Amino acid sequence: PSGMKFEKAREWRVPCVNITWLCDVLAGNLEALRQPQHVRYTTFSLADPFAPDRQLVANLLVSWKVPIRISKEALLASRNIPKRKLSDGIQSSVKKPRLEEGSLSQRRGPGDATHRVIFTGFELFQVHEYMKKLYFLGGEVAESVHKCTHLVANKVTRTVKFLTAISVVKNIVMPNWLEDSAKQQRFLDEGAYLLRDAEAEVLFSFSLEESMNRARVKPLFQGLFFYLTPGMCPSLATMRSIIECAGGRVLTKQPGLQRLAEHRNNKNLPDIIIISCENDLHLCREYLVRGIEVHNAEFVLTGALTQTLDYESYRFT
């Protein structure tokens, strides 16, 4: 390879890898993340760089090794089926789920859709039924959690929608709020329909009402920077959404020891929180050796749910 990017990467000691490295990672070989300098990933003149490692995709190749058995009758029947011409047109047999007939013309309430709703924890057919009621009342499905006024859920779940909504959504309500509102043909007050989940609150030792009250007072991660190592689970995108909705900022580059020291010693600079996982601890070895705290994903996930910063329970030691 050649070019300014490649030369700068070598100068800055940034690993340069081939397509095979990416293919291995996508196939589930996380060892590739630890060995970017391996000769397998630094050879750039491969005849077929997209050729997968057979051992990594062995489970996908099994079906191709077993011949498909087709009876003579089935083969003859398939040959006798007349071919369809383009002029005949193609009518898809897959129909999209429909709302009630004329549902758009039957909307009630203000046209500015002051009620923007997101659903979480439901089967698709249930969501469609609730959407009918929502549209009938004059509401709409929110484009994002930031534009959402109500999250509808039947229990506390640790989905990305729920964990982001706690930080930014005004109301988390049960589905019977929509059902009763549709019967009354107007949006009812949410007070009697706020989500209650005693089992989850005992399990996670928190109060949903208190969590939402704390989020309204101050965003949990306001004034904090986060660095997430690449092998995170949940995904980096999910973690980023939860952190940013709670007022935090995610760093795109791994902070060096000098920068961490500067932020730790200067009260005017935001604290930097390192979030990692078991498979990525080798990337945090220098941090751990020097006593810099490294936490697992629960610092963010449980933190967002309970709206608390727990610097002790989720530290790697």
CA 276 to chain centre: 16
> What's the rounded mean pLDDT across residues 127-150?
93
Residue 1 pLDDT more than 50? yes
What's the confidence (pLDDT) of residue 109? 46
Residue 281 pLDDT more than 80? yes
Judge whether 278 lies within some domain. yes
Judge whether 179 lies within some domain. yes
Last residue of some domain: 165, 183, 214?
214
> 247 and 200, same structural domain?
no
> 170 and 195, same structural domain?
yes
Structure tokens, 162: 């729920």
Last residue of some domain: 62, 82, 98?
62
Where residue 69 falls among pLDDT bands split at 50, 70, 90?
Answer: confident
> 152 and 225, same structural domain?
no
In terms of Cβ atoms closer than 10 Å to its own Cβ (0-12, 13-18, 19+), residue 193 is: buried
Judge whether 107 lies within some domain. no
- Asked if 296 and 276 touch (Cβ cutoff 8 Å), the reply is yes
Could you give the percent of the chain with pLDDT greater than 70? Answer: 90
- In sequence order, which residues have a C-beta less than 8 Å from that of residue 295 and are 6 or more positions away? 273, 274, 275, 276, 311, 314, 315, 316
> 176 and 134, same structural domain?
yes
Judge whether 102 lies within some domain. no
What's the confidence (pLDDT) of residue 123? 92
> 181 and 120, same structural domain?
yes
Closest CA to 165 of 250, 245, 222, 249: 245
Tally the domains of the chain. Answer: 3
Last residue of some domain: 158, 189, 214?
214
- Asked if 212 and 166 touch (Cβ cutoff 8 Å), the reply is yes
Torsional sign, CA 285, 287, 293, 295: negative
pTM for the model stands at: 0.64
Where residue 88 falls among pLDDT bands split at 50, 70, 90?
Answer: low
What's the confidence (pLDDT) of residue 3? 84
Residue 106 pLDDT more than 60? no
What SS3 string covers 245-257? Answer: HCCCEECCCCCCH
Closest CA to 119 of 177, 168, 175, 80: 175
Judge whether 100 lies within some domain. no
What's the confidence (pLDDT) of residue 62? 72
> What's the rounded mean pLDDT across residues 84-111?
49
Judge whether 146 lies within some domain. yes
> 234 and 272, same structural domain?
yes
Judge whether 97 lies within some domain. no
> What's the rounded mean pLDDT across residues 217-238?
94
Buried b / exposed e across 166-183, counting CB within 10 Å, b at 16+? bbbbebbbbbebbeebbe
> 234 and 209, same structural domain?
no
Domain that holds residue 32: 4-62
What's the confidence (pLDDT) of residue 82? 66
Q: Which helix (H) or strand (E) holds 6?
A: helix 4-11
What spatial distance separates the first Cα and last Cα of the chain, rounded to whole Å?
Answer: 41
> 261 and 177, same structural domain?
no
> 240 and 195, same structural domain?
no
Could you give the percent of the chain with pLDDT greater than 90? Answer: 60
Dihedral angle over CA of 308, 311, 316, 317, nearest 10: -150
**Domain of residue 186, CATH code:** 3.40.50.10190
> 224 and 301, same structural domain?
yes
> 199 and 180, same structural domain?
yes
> 226 and 187, same structural domain?
no
d(CA 43, CA 194): 59
Judge whether 270 lies within some domain. yes
d(CA 22, CA 198): 45
Strand runs labelled E in the chain: 116-119, 140-141, 150-152, 171-173, 224-228, 249-250, 271-275, 294-295
